[in-house]
A and B are shown apart, each in its own frame.
Chain A
Amino acid sequence: MIETLGELVVSLLIVAGSGFTLVGSIGLVKLPDLMTRLHAPTKATTAGVGGVLLASMIHVVVRSGEVSAHELLIALFLFLTAPISAHFLAKAYLHLHRERERNFPPACHGRDWTLLDEPGEELPREDRPQPPPRV
């Protein structure tokens, strides 16, 4: 009984996870430019991979009664790296197409985006942002 129920949950999670991954890939094909396409993979890594990993954990627990920690680690590493790679992709794209993609708004305070700095230009030491003192 427990085993059937477990298998049902596992199958549902796998189907849901792969569904999200599929939608992410469809988005990659359908969306018009790089910036909108970038939204598709961040979705596939969160809900898609998350669903499959959860299924794997439940499967191991139901089958052998042991708790497997590897899935937690995979999830942790993915959640740490996905935003960073998305950030790098966006920055690389914006750097390559600085002239064409200049339609983003200016920063709201004194200094503008780091994207707009000239290569090799360095802030004078006194202008570099400093963390506030601890209170």
Chain B
Amino acid sequence: MTSEPSRRPPAAWLPHPRLALLLAVLWLLLQNRFTVGGLLIGLVLGVVVAHATRSFWPQRPHIRAWGKVFAYLLRVFRDILVANLVVARLILFRPAARLEPCWIVVPLDLQWPEAIAVFAGTITLTPGTVSCDLSADRRSLLVHCLDAPDPEAMVRVLKERYEAPLKEIFE
């Protein structure tokens, strides 16, 4: 873990406080109602699970701009809807032989593993593109497109619409 003078080092029993809190909230949502007992069990679960899985999260993802997280989510939801309509039209009205599927390589500016994971997940969730592999040096992403007559424009769109805001959020 990198040492930062401005931030307290994480307590050994609570390596990821936000993860623990998130798990507690998830537990309450699973119960579908709020009770004090439920909250306590959720908090205990959150602390235990976060502690048990700490070796998978050697570092804490650092989110710089929370306001931009919501803007990003809204944009992704909108794009999922629009892209669904586009792909539905492709499937229904375009003969399979006239689709232009292709591979594209997205050079990555993002360096944090968490940010790359969110970027790759976003690419897969927006229909029409599936992220398939990462290069061994984590600097390029292999993406399959269902129909991309202009692969370079596709790379540009992905980088501008998703990678740029993620870079502001994470780095």
A interface residues, Cβ below 8 angstroms from B: 20, 23, 26-27, 30-32, 35-36, 38-40, 42-43, 46-47, 50, 68-70, 72-73, 79-80, 82-84, 86-87, 90-91, 94, 103-115, 117, 123, 127, 129, 131-134
> What is the CA–CA distance of A96 and B86 in the complex, to the nearest angstrom?
31
Residues of B with C-beta under 8 A to A47: 80-81, 84, 127
Most buried by A among B101, B129, B142: B142
> What is the CA–CA distance of A86 and B132 in the complex, to the nearest angstrom?
8
Q: Which residue of A lies closest to B94 (CB)?
A: A30
Residues of A with C-beta under 8 A to B26: 73
> What is the CA–CA distance of A134 and B3 in the complex, to the nearest angstrom?
9
Check B103–A43 contact: CB distance below 8 A: no
On whether A68 and B131 interact (CB within 8 A), knowing A35-B101, A111-B137, A129-B137, the answer reads no
Residues of A with C-beta under 8 A to B96: 30-32, 36
Query: Which among A43, A68, A109, A117 is the interface contact of B88 at CB below 8 angstroms?
Result: A43
Residues of B with C-beta under 8 A to A31: 91, 96, 99
Query: Which among A39, A69, A108, A109 is the interface contact of B130 at CB below 8 angstroms?
Result: A39
Residues of A with C-beta under 8 A to B2: 133-134
Query: Which among B29, B105, B124 is the interface contact of A73 at CB below 8 angstroms?
Result: B29
> What is the CA–CA distance of A105 and B113 in the complex, to the nearest angstrom?
23
Interface residues of B in 119-171 (CB under 8 A from A): 120-121, 123-125, 127-140, 142, 144, 146, 171
On whether A115 and B125 interact (CB within 8 A), knowing A46-B84, A73-B30, the answer reads no
Q: Which 5 A-B pairs have the closest CB atoms?
A: A107-B135, A83-B124, A43-B127, A47-B84, A83-B121
Residues of A with C-beta under 8 A to B97: 32
On whether A38 and B135 interact (CB within 8 A), knowing A86-B130, A107-B105, A134-B62, the answer reads no
> What is the CA–CA distance of A11 and B21 in the complex, to the nearest angstrom?
36
Residues of B with C-beta under 8 A to A69: 29-30, 32
> What is the CA–CA distance of A70 and B88 in the complex, to the nearest angstrom?
28
0/1 string, B44-70, CB within 8 A of A gives 1: 000000000000000100100000000
Residues of B with C-beta under 8 A to A113: 133-136, 142
